[in-house]
Amino acid sequence: LTLRTEPHYVLGIDIGGTKLAVGIVSPEGRLVSEVRTPTLVREGPDRVIRQLLDLCDGALVQSGLLRSQVVAAGVGCGGPLDPITGVVMEPPNLPGWVDVPLVARLSDRLQIPVSLDNDANAAALGEHRFGAGRGIANMIYLTISTGVGGGVITDGRLYQGENGNAGEIGHMGVVLGGRTCGCGGQGCLEAYASGTSIAGRVREAIAGGRTSMMPELAGSLEQITAETVLAALRAGDALAREIWEETLDLLGMGVANVISIFNPRRVVLGGGITNFGDLLFPPLRERALRRVMAPLAAVVDIVPAELGSTVGILGAAAVALAAREASELVNVVYK
Ligand SMILES: [Zn+2]
């Protein structure tokens, strides 16, 4: 048995359609350094990969660590992608990226193991390891912003499914023949609960003749966002209340469905919707828990995420750490 004396750090690489962020993270989740830059998305994957490699260099220099102290890298990126082959397939937020072998490209240059997962799964791993899910074996993560993403942790590990696409909680059907979703399906949770869909339903209702303070609050009908709905809700607007109640009902149904399948100890909710605070959590708990059987309701809580704006980098770092642990386990078993 050998004991490690020096800590081993990992790179967390967060690829978004508008910004790139890279940080160096300790095994305990301390962010040692952090660099960000706007994504040159229109210049294509080769240029963005060069940007990422420059950011990795920048994060290393800023950290003051030796290159040899950074032992692995994890990447969180918009899907669809294949975490097993490390190929990014064709994410809507990265136009021009078609079947990009991102893991091969990065590990070739960085000379360390690189692992990849979609941004919601990465965030689930990050919250589980460093945030609101610490010490919890069975956890569901749900992020609600412009879209709805999710990740499922069972027995302390990310549940990946047959080809790495498990946890697409946003595309669970909640309304038969309902609104069309970005995925092409109908009645998905995302088509009701995402910030975009909440604002869209408000705009449709007003265009259909409903009166509300929201166009004036936002400046115009087109400028209404989920934040406008929150402000109008606090000011007692009847339409905002109606749309929000419907959102809570459907979100409660969706959360109850995942609780019924996975029997988690905790549901962690992240993303912009958590700004609704007490207008969200107590009524959502009530609506979700009354739909599940008593033994399931008895052990689960529904709480806000904890990592905030660092979730991208810390989630990617958690992808690297999980892959590292899995490979060490393989070595123990087979060597
Ligand atoms: Zn969908």
- The pLDDT of residue 136 is 97
What's the rounded mean pLDDT across residues 296-312? 97
How many whole angstroms from 222 Cα to the centroid of ligand 1? 23
How many whole angstroms from 245 Cα to the centroid of ligand 1? 21
- What pTM value is reported for the model? 0.94
- The pLDDT of residue 327 is 85
Whether residue 95 has pLDDT greater than 60: yes
What's the rounded mean pLDDT across residues 298-314? 97
- The pLDDT of residue 297 is 98
**What percentage of the chain exceeds 90 in pLDDT?**
92
Tell me the one-letter amino acid at 139: M
How many whole angstroms from 59 Cα to the centroid of ligand 1? 36
What's the rounded mean pLDDT across residues 75-98? 93
How many whole angstroms from 195 Cα to the centroid of ligand 1? 14
- The pLDDT of residue 163 is 87
Whether residue 71 has pLDDT greater than 60: yes
Beta-bridged to residue 140, according to DSSP, are 152, 267
How many whole angstroms from 251 Cα to the centroid of ligand 1? 14
Tokens describing residue 76 = 């969180």
How many whole angstroms from 177 Cα to the centroid of ligand 1? 12
Interhelix angle for 238-262 vs 226-234, to 10°? 110
Whether residue 3 has pLDDT greater than 60: no
How many whole angstroms from 73 Cα to the centroid of ligand 1? 30
How many whole angstroms from 131 Cα to the centroid of ligand 1? 28
- The pLDDT of residue 333 is 60
The model's pLDDT over 5-56, given as tens digits with 9 standing for 90+, comes to: 567 999 999 999 999 999 999 999 999 999 999 999 999 999 999 999 999 9
How many whole angstroms from 184 Cα to the centroid of ligand 1? 6
What is the pLDDT of the chain when averaged over all its residues?
95
What's the rounded mean pLDDT across residues 70-81? 95
The model's pLDDT over 264-280, given as tens digits with 9 standing for 90+, comes to: 999 999 999 999 999 99
- The pLDDT of residue 328 is 80
Whether residue 4 has pLDDT greater than 70: no
How many whole angstroms from 179 Cα to the centroid of ligand 1? 10
How many whole angstroms from 150 Cα to the centroid of ligand 1? 13
- The pLDDT of residue 51 is 98
How many whole angstroms from 191 Cα to the centroid of ligand 1? 7
Instruction: Give start and end residues of each alpha helix (H) in the chain.
Output: 44-63, 102-110, 119-130, 190-193, 195-207, 214-218, 226-234, 238-262, 281-289, 294-299, 311-334
243 pLDDT band (50/70/90 cuts)?
very high
How many whole angstroms from 27 Cα to the centroid of ligand 1? 35
How many whole angstroms from 183 Cα to the centroid of ligand 1? 4
How many whole angstroms from 212 Cα to the centroid of ligand 1? 29
Whether residue 231 has pLDDT greater than 70: yes
Whether residue 2 has pLDDT greater than 70: no
How many whole angstroms from 321 Cα to the centroid of ligand 1? 30
Return all residues near 15 (Cβ < 8 A) that are at least 6 apart: 39, 48, 52, 75, 76, 77, 78, 94, 119
Whether residue 1 has pLDDT greater than 60: no
- Dihedral in degrees, nearest 10, Cα atoms 179, 189, 247, 311: -130
Interhelix angle for 238-262 vs 195-207, to 10°? 140
- The pLDDT of residue 332 is 63
How many whole angstroms from 255 Cα to the centroid of ligand 1? 16
Q: Which of 102-111, 132-141, 325-334 has the lowest mean pLDDT?
A: 325-334
Whether residue 121 has pLDDT greater than 80: yes
How many whole angstroms from 66 Cα to the centroid of ligand 1? 44
How many whole angstroms from 180 Cα to the centroid of ligand 1? 8
The model's pLDDT over 174-203, given as tens digits with 9 standing for 90+, comes to: 999 999 998 899 999 999 999 999 999 999
How many whole angstroms from 67 Cα to the centroid of ligand 1? 42
